[in-house]
A and B are shown apart, each in its own frame.
Chain A
Amino acid sequence: MIKEVITVILLVVGCFFFLAGTLGVLRFPDLFSRLHALTKADNLGLGFIAAGMALHIASPWAALKIFSIWLFTLLASSTSCYLIARFQREQEQSKNKKERG
């Protein structure tokens, strides 16, 4: 019973972070803060949901699998966030150079 309650709480918290992340993507003004919302909040949300599901299934193997899903998503999204941000920076720099020269 307590386990189920904790599961539900974890899932709800996860959903809340997803919602916040999505709102951030939609409402934030520029690319960097949007990326911030997308990667940070969503990964946190995914973490909570993964934890909730792991608790719900309650088998060590499944928990390991779910944990690795979270880990890989974390890695992939942080890398892609970094790459997008770097691309944007380079674009801006080259733009500035053009304007100056």
Chain B
Amino acid sequence: MSVLIDSILAILAVYLALQCLLAPRLTQTVFIFFAFGLALALAWVRLGAVDVAITEAAIASGFLGVLFLDALRDFSFTAPNKRENLEAVHDPLSRNDTKSLLLPRLALWLGLGLFLLIALEAVWKIPDGGGLTAAAEALLPESGVEHPVTAVLLNFRAYDTWLEIGVILLGLLAIFAVGGIKLYRKPGVAADDPLLRQVILFFTPVLFLFGAFLLYFGKTGPGGAFQAAVLWGAIGILLHLGGRPVFSVIPRWLGQLLLTVGLVFFLVLGFLLMAGGGALFEYPPAHAGVLILIVETLAAISIAAALTAIFANLNQMKKEEPNEIESTN
């Protein structure tokens, strides 16, 4: 029975991935992408990875899907007749004539088929490495938290997590570098629709509470900084869509503080611990729980701010209005 469910789920994921890339219209691609993300999230749950499922559903499918959806307004949604020419596929990331490409295309598909066969054999014949479950279980009491995934993320491999928070900030900086963005624009008109306004007003505290819940219970069960951050980021996105862009309301320095506080506090705490004679991110076991909670809270704030800012910036890149003001940053 369980094999059946898993097989159906696996086939569904593959089917959706193929459909996503083969769909003739971009709108379909994006909506199938949402479905693909949900199928993957179900697969994570089946594999016992609830944390990953929440992250996948929230960030990879949810947040990224929203970005793609927002992009649709620009690309083909406004011009539905602009179809993707399916016949002239194959573009090896380089400029190319679309004509007379039968041979390279054939070679590409043959190569991919061969590659797939080797890949399947490689994952089929994989020797059992044993993993690190036992090691993690043995050291879990010293980590200050009870949930093993949180222990790995925030303590055993805190360095990776710190870099990852940096990568999100970096993603935002990179989007600034693209140009044509005016982040600190004047507050727009508030949503003209009473229903929308009420719903945003209702959801803001609910999302905040639920984020805080996930953050706090990350200590003992699935949840944590990243999942909470997406919910808090959703508040920012909702407010932005409702005509209250957060970053134009708060002063500039506060915005920058919100964006960087997680990364900087994480690092400075690490440096302080180092000055105290330990290694970077070496939390004393007695205080590890509290320190990790503080780090997680600030990290969640920073990530939420970064996600909001990423959405707000991408949201302004419309074809209709070419950039009038260069990035003020």
A is bound by B: yes
Could you tell me which A residues sit within 8 Å of B by CB distance?
72, 75, 79, 82-83, 86
Distance between Cα atoms of A76 and B199 in the complex (Å)? 8
CB proximity to A under 8 Å, residues B228-253: none
Contact yes or no, B206 A82, CB < 8 A:
no
Within the complex, the shortest CB–CB distance from A98 to chain B, in Å, comes to 14
Q: Which residues of B contact A86 (CB under 8 A)?
A: 193
B124 at the interface (CB under 8 A from A): no
Q: Which residues of A contact B196 (CB under 8 A)?
A: 79, 83
A-B contact pairs, 10 of them (CB 8 A): A75-B199, A75-B202, A75-B203, A79-B195, A79-B196, A79-B199, A82-B195, A83-B193, A83-B196, A86-B193
Q: Which residues of B contact A79 (CB under 8 A)?
A: 195-196, 199
Within the complex, the shortest CB–CB distance from A54 to chain B, in Å, comes to 19
Distance between Cα atoms of A79 and B267 in the complex (Å)? 42
Distance between Cα atoms of A72 and B203 in the complex (Å)? 9
Total B residues in contact with A, Cβ cutoff 8 Å: 7
Query: What are the 9 A-B residue pairs with the smallest beta carbon separation, nearest first?
Result: A79-B199, A82-B195, A83-B196, A75-B199, A79-B195, A79-B196, A75-B202, A72-B206, A86-B193
Distance between Cα atoms of A82 and B199 in the complex (Å)? 12
Distance between Cα atoms of A83 and B199 in the complex (Å)? 11
Within the complex, the shortest CB–CB distance from A34 to chain B, in Å, comes to 13
Q: Which B residue's beta carbon lies closest to that of A83? A: B196
Q: Which A residue's beta carbon lies closest to that of B206? A: A72
Within the complex, the shortest CB–CB distance from B210 to chain A, in Å, comes to 9
Distance between Cα atoms of A86 and B195 in the complex (Å)? 11
Q: Which residues of A contact B199 (CB under 8 A)?
A: 75, 79
Q: Which residues of A contact B193 (CB under 8 A)?
A: 83, 86
Q: Which residues of B contact A82 (CB under 8 A)?
A: 195
Distance between Cα atoms of A85 and B32 in the complex (Å)? 21
Distance between Cα atoms of A82 and B197 in the complex (Å)? 13
Distance between Cα atoms of A72 and B231 in the complex (Å)? 14
Centre residue among A72, A79, A83, A86 by max chain B CB count within 10 A:
A79
